[in-house]
Amino acid sequence: MSKRLDYNQIAPAGVKALGGVYGYVMQSGLPPALVDLVYLRISQINNCAYCLDSHTRDLLKNGVKIEKLALVQAWREAGPLFDARERAALAWAETVTRVAETGVPDDAYQDARAVFDERELVDLTIAIGLMNAYNRVAISFRNTPQAVLEHRA
């Protein structure tokens, strides 16, 4: 697929606004590796090749082992590879991303609240909403993953 348009050039203020939310999330106190795992899982659900490539690269750079990355999609079956906070964050990311299907049920909320305080859960939900927005922009305008660009070179 080829890129439809360059949204960074066409709407730089909008992209900058999303970047401001990203900056907020990164200074929120949530561990960056946890946020990137959530971003990766959301991008898997949404089939966003650009973001899958980007967040996989970020996680690898930050020392997350390939064995863990390979199992993000099946984290429930990965046993102790994912800690309690990671499992709770991934479960919350899935139900919030699929809000039209799940309605974000009370038991999912209670499970997340058992691991995250109120502020962390709000910040995590903001991060989830942000990644869903980024996925939709990248998919809609066919943003090219770095791996594809490198393959072409």
What CA–CA distance (Å, rounded) separates 33 from 90? 12
**DSSP line for 74-115:** GGGGSGGGS-HHHHHHHHHHHHHHTHHHH---HHHHHHHHTT
| Tens digit of each residue's pLDDT (9 = 90 or more) over 32-46 | 999 999 999 999 999
Please provide the size of the chain in residues: 153
For residue 29, give the DSSP letter: S
Domains of the chain (ranges plus CATH)?
7-152 (1.20.1290.10)
Q: Is the pTM of the predicted complex or chain greater than 0.85? A: yes
Q: Per-residue pLDDT tens for 80-116?
A: 999 999 999 999 999 999 999 999 999 999 999 999 9
